[in-house]
Amino acid sequence: MSKIKPSKGAPYARILGVGGYRPARVVPNEVILEKIDSSDEWIRSRSGIATRHWASPEETVTAMSVEASGKAIAAAGITPEQIGAVVVSTVSHFKQTPAVATEIADKIGAGKPAAFDISAGCAGFGYGLTLAKGMIVEGSAEYVLVIGVERLSDLTDLEDRATAFLFGDGAGAVVVGPSDVPHIGPTVWGSEGDKSETIKQTVPWNEYQLGDVSKLPLNEAGEIKFPAITQEGQAVFRWAVFEMAKVAQQALDAAGISADDLDVFIPHQANMRIIDSMVKTLKLPEHVTVARDVETTGNTSAASIPLAMERLLATGQAKSGDTALVIGFGAGLVFAATVVTLP
């Protein structure tokens, strides 16, 4: 018979506050067109993107995260010292170790919380939210800070016509805390590793370090390119449109609600055509507010869902207490969907 005492966590968890940070520099499509043979009309028609934000040297992964976290903590009505864990989802923190979460925790004055990074691409926010919920219910933390942050401009090949216009920078954060009633539904998540080549880094860091020109991409001047994110656009589009709508429906079913019960839909901001196709496939009613932050923010990977959530609430398009379906999907290929009550 076990001698271990049962954990004393909360019955449920909920999002208590959200915050976002977008870099000051706004980059229109015209800047992207300086390096690729395309047009503003083509970029808008294929992706829905008109502008994106690119970080300055001072707007680091840590700096952006600290700004977003401060807003989320203030909105949640708690102090940094009450944070028991910091979970950061990012693919653009270039130090292998230590985790950037530890630096962020220190800079926000959180004391000595558990702090770690996860790499789950554009599904990273959903992964972090699920981990946070588990920690609160299990009792290992009362409040968890979940951050999605990216500086994807550092990993963008501006000469790649397929991806140069897609990516932006930013940070989004939420504070997850205890609740007496369920406000975060079951997570439907998973991976399809057989499709890992469809979104990937062009070359591993070790090959870049070795400098073997025969294995590395070169620019027009014959110089070695820095590693970047590349993708097979059509394959990713088909997967997202057909498979992720199924995952979104499974999340609705797991939460015990239908599309008619939704107030808000916040999908990963990858592409406007993907978003519109998912809305159609899910047969969302007209009253459901749909996040389309991608138009002015671009694809910010792990940051896209909390950034879109923050903007919907800030502009009044969504309100506290609304029921929202969130779904992230991307490199891996990985995915995560759940239903939440907005803070």
Q: What is the pLDDT of residues 279-335, one digit of tens each?
A: 999 999 999 999 999 999 999 999 999 999 999 999 999 999 999 999 999 999 999
The per-residue pLDDT of the chain, averaged, comes to 95
Neighbours of 230 (CB within 10 A): 19
Kindly name the residue from 29, 93, 271, 299 that is annotated as catalytic: 299
Active site residue 299: yes
Active site residue 122: yes
Q: Which residue has the higher pLDDT, 199 or 2?
A: 199
pLDDT at 223: 75
Instruction: Over range 68-77, report the average pLDDT.
Output: 98
Distances (CA, A) of 97 to 50, 123, 131, 219: 36, 22, 21, 30
Q: What is the pLDDT of residues 224-266, one digit of tens each?
A: 788 899 999 899 999 999 999 999 999 999 999 999 999 999 9
Distances (CA, A) of 174 to 86, 132, 191, 301, 306: 10, 10, 24, 16, 7
Distances (CA, A) of 132 to 12, 139, 283, 315: 11, 11, 30, 27
Give bridge partners of residue 189 from the DSSP assignment: 336
N-terminal to C-terminal alpha carbon distance within the chain: 42
151-171 as b/e, with b when 16 or more CB fall inside 10 Å? bbbbbbbbebeebbbbbbbbb
Q: How confident is the model at residue 175 (pLDDT cuts 50, 70, 90)?
A: very high
CB 303 within 8 A of CB 151: no
pLDDT at 5: 83
Kindly name the residue from 53, 183, 268, 271 that is annotated as catalytic: 268
> What percentage of residues in the chain have a pLDDT greater than 90?
89
Kindly name the residue from 29, 53, 93, 122 that is annotated as catalytic: 122
